[in-house]
Structure 1
Amino acid sequence: MAKIDFIKTEAYKNIKNFLYQVDISIKEDKQEHNIEHIKMLESISNKIESTALDESSHRFANNACLEVFKFLKNESSNIYFLNSFGNSTRMDYGTGHELNYFCYLYTLYKSGCLKINEVFGVLKVYFRVVRSFLNKFNIEPAGSQGIWGIDDYQILPYVFGSSELFNSSRSVFELDAKYCYIECLKSSKNKKSLVLQSFRNKRWVDINRTLLNMYDLQIFKKNVITQHFIYSEFLPNVN
């Protein structure tokens, strides 16, 4: 099978356009909550909380996380959704899985099940649920850039968090965790990220522009991530 160049596909064009649509909506529109999809995430959160840890010793992820992966199959048959909480075989999670959830929301949007100004509200809940999943079961990162990366697990909270703060004149030090960017920053395991440190005294408009470009370069244009991209009717591999 011929190797697919992701950036030449309709999938790349569609999902990149969606990224910018959500970014603009956060900046310009009143954001709303989609109760149906938030409740779905709350159901997953409850499952995570109620699942007892496997008490046998584990060097890496706790095997009890497999109960959550089984539970996800009862929530949706969407291929992007089922691959958005990590890999159940390797028991790891990374930005490619986060991208899968974003693709899942794109399919909902294109199907008329989710409005553009509801995407951010659902994503914020997803970010929190994923963090609780990672922390409880000690899920390993699928890859790590160490201090040279933003976060081993999540990038979109920073991207859209900067969209939320686009018009703010307050610095990182003056804001609290009610904002998506700050919430993720406070909970991040990568406390020594040189990228995030470089943002501390920058304007949010500049941070936002940098992060959008960085997402394109480090996610969409990184073969190590897009080689596993799931193509579909909504996100086809045609040129």
Structure 2
Amino acid sequence: MDIRQVPLSDLEQLETPNPKIRSDQDIRAWQTTRSYGDYAIFLRRLNDSVVGYYLPWSSENPSNAIINTVKLLDTLDSWIDEIPPQETPQRFGNLSFRKWGARLEDKSDELLNALLPSEYSPVIPHLKPYLLTSFGSFLRMDYGTGHETSFALFLLCLVLIRFFKPKPDEERELVLRVFLRYLRLCWRLQDVYKLEPAGSHGVWGLDDFHFLGYIFGSGQLRDQKEIPVSAVLRPPLPPTNLYFMLIMRVHDVKNGPFHEHSSQLHSIAVGVPNWSKVNSGLFKMYEAEVLGKRVVVQHIPLGGLLEWSIPNTETTSTNPKASPLPALASPPVILNGASRMDTDTRTRAPWANNR
């Protein structure tokens, strides 16, 4: 499906985004908004763009928008060298991460002005909140899937204003070049500043820090018949896709048997018959365990480009199954996650009944 375009001339009429989710009812309301549908379409398009494409990735003519976004991430990475971790022992995170975050807050306007052509300058107040929440909490010194989602929404905003073009070649670059560079930056932030997982489910979670890379990586492998899902149990894995890279990252940062510290990833490897079902199941899990959890998404800015306009307040507050998402080709991007929200914090395996 196509992604709508927001004319730059409309920006002055839009509010500046800020956190709006304070309750589970707010999550259900969010699921009725056009911005939620935009994000669903965006993720499906990114996923579909990388099916059958592998790493290392190279292309002849990436757009200036792609090149400059990678340069922005390179700049943020260089700050880590300039702001080394404090040597004094610290139990939760390293205080130097707050210095890194303070520099991001101070220089965010400068960074976005360097990224965008001058005619896009009115969009900076709408992008800045997403950029600032993409790399972790500078107060709590942690990082998690809510911050990763903020970065994906940052990219979506840039598509809505057509800084990035919604076409397969550009979307492939967003995953295999921009998102991969973002992942590497976040890994370095986690390692150097000893960031804590934000809202981790522990052994019952998919990953302490990331989720979208597993979706895109299983998307790369979606039509693959020669590599079984169980291949992930036989490391080392070649860095040919984001799924394998994230599995090897888990091995780098965790000790002990894989089935004990990463039970969900292990259960996928032994119980899911093909990569297509892994891919569709992870979309469902992402909605339930990331977008459907208040503690994960409560700090994500909404409004403005990602409008917070509730079409029917009475319906959304009384009918938890209400969903505005467009009908998409099977498998759906996000399936009525409100109906799966419950008080159990353990991650469900949505593919268990989908074999």
What is the TM-score of this pair, normalised by structure 2? Answer: 0.63
Aligned residues: 239
**1:151 aligned residue:** 207
Measure the CA separation in 2 of the matches of 1:44 and 1:223.
Answer: 29
**1:178–1:67: structure 2 CA closer, same or farther, 3 Å change rule?**
farther
Measure the CA separation in 1 of the matches of 2:209 and 2:308.
Answer: 26
| Larger Cα-atom Rg | 2
In the alignment, structure 1 segments of 5+ residues that lack a partner are none
- 1:43 and 2:112 are equivalent in the alignment: no
Extract structure 1 runs of 4+ deviating beyond 3 A.
Answer: 28-33
**2:142 aligned residue:** 92
Contact 1:157–1:180 (8 Å) recurs in 2: yes
- 1:141 and 2:197 are equivalent in the alignment: yes
- 1:81 and 2:107 are equivalent in the alignment: no
Measure the CA separation in 1 of the matches of 2:50 and 2:202.
Answer: 30
Deviation string, structure 1 residues 109-133 (Cα, Å, up to 9, x no partner): 1121223232202111101110110
Deviation string, structure 1 residues 79-98 (Cα, Å, up to 9, x no partner): 10111011111111111111
1:166 maps to which of 207, 213, 222: 222
Q: Secondary structure at the match of 2:155?
A: helix
What is the TM-score of this pair, normalised by structure 1? Answer: 0.91
Moved more, 129-138 or 215-224: 215-224
Moved more, 26-35 or 6-15: 26-35
Moved more, 1-10 or 176-185: 1-10
Contact 1:12–1:220 (8 Å) recurs in 2: no
In the alignment, structure 2 segments of 5+ residues that lack a partner are 1-19, 113-123, 166-170, 311-355
Offset of residue 69 of structure 1:
0.9
Contact 2:133–2:300 (8 Å) recurs in 1: no
Offset of residue 57 of structure 1:
2.0
Q: Secondary structure at the match of 1:8?
A: coil
- 1:71 and 2:103 are equivalent in the alignment: yes
- Structure 2 counterpart of 1:103, one-letter code: L
1:176 maps to which of 228, 238, 244: 238
Aligned-residue RMSD, C-alpha: 2.2
Deviation string, structure 1 residues 96-153 (Cα, Å, up to 9, x no partner): 1110000000011112122323220211110111011011100111111111111111
